[in-house]
Amino acid sequence: MIKAYIDPASSRQFKKLLGEYEKKAGVKIEDAIVDLSFSTGRRLANTVPPFGLSKKTGDAFQGSIAAQVQRAWEGNRLGIYQGSTMEQVHKNARNSRGVVPKRLFRKGQWTGQEIPVAEREAYIRKMQHHAGRAKAGWIAAAEFAKRGKKLSGIPRWIREDVSSYGEAKTKRKGLSTEVDLKNKVRYVEGLQKTSMINKAIADGYRNGIRRMQRIISKL
């Protein structure tokens, strides 16, 4: 579980912009800061490996999952990776980065025991279904902060897992409003470095400022 805090109220220039935005656009300062957290949630999701949110990224990731499970299954046939279920075999085959390494298996050493193909394929489908879960945690947190409003352009491989994997808490206190985004996916801590999170927050902050500036310029 990871928390990301959106507290942009420390900049004098930003405070001035918020005041102007509230006056001209009719949006309360607290709501404007929540809007920042909304865009920041997208940036946080984007930086969860594999980087990106597109369908193309999802297709490539799901293909990689299938290939890694296949390598683990083949290693089990040759007695390299142990386990009585596909889940156990996959777990034992993964390295410290959670990846099943590519390796040249020696031929002619089949043990005569293997995980059934049907179990392998069912496990692949299960793992592919969860491919977008870590990203979905940030999307869910952002949408929680906006009281259920949906982020646009989130593809199915992420959207289908957006449910109870993220949440947010907001302390509304004018220019000092704080938003706490929480990704509740357990293994996300091993995927995102603190530097990635800080960069995503900074990017979301800048994107939000540019958006407010564009709106003000048109009023």
* Residues 4/201, Cβ–Cβ less than 8 Å: yes
Per-position pLDDT tens, the chain of length 219: 788 888 766 678 888 899 999 999 999 999 999 999 999 999 999 999 999 999 999 999 999 999 999 999 999 988 888 899 999 999 999 998 889 998 766 655 666 678 999 999 999 999 999 999 999 999 999 999 999 899 999 999 999 877 789 999 999 988 889 999 999 999 898 889 889 999 999 998 888 889 999 999 988
In tens, the pLDDT along 93-103 reads 999 888 999 87
Tokens encoding 16: 């001035």
Q: Measured between alpha carbons, how far is 184 from 133 in angstroms, rounded to an integer? A: 10
Q: Scan for tokens 């683990």, then name that residue.
A: 72
Residues 162-198: tens digit of each pLDDT: 778 999 999 998 888 999 999 999 989 888 988 999 9
Residue closest to 213 by CA, chosen among 25, 9, 3, 6:
25
**114, 84 contact by CB (below 8 A):** no
Question: d(Cα 36, Cα 170) in Å, to the nearest integer?
Answer: 12
Quickly count: other Cβ atoms within 10 Å of residue 173's Cβ.
Answer: 11
Decide if 158 contacts 53 (C-beta within 8 A): yes
Q: Which residues share a beta bridge with 4?
A: 181
Can you give the residue ranges of every domain in the chain?
2-53+132-217, 56-129
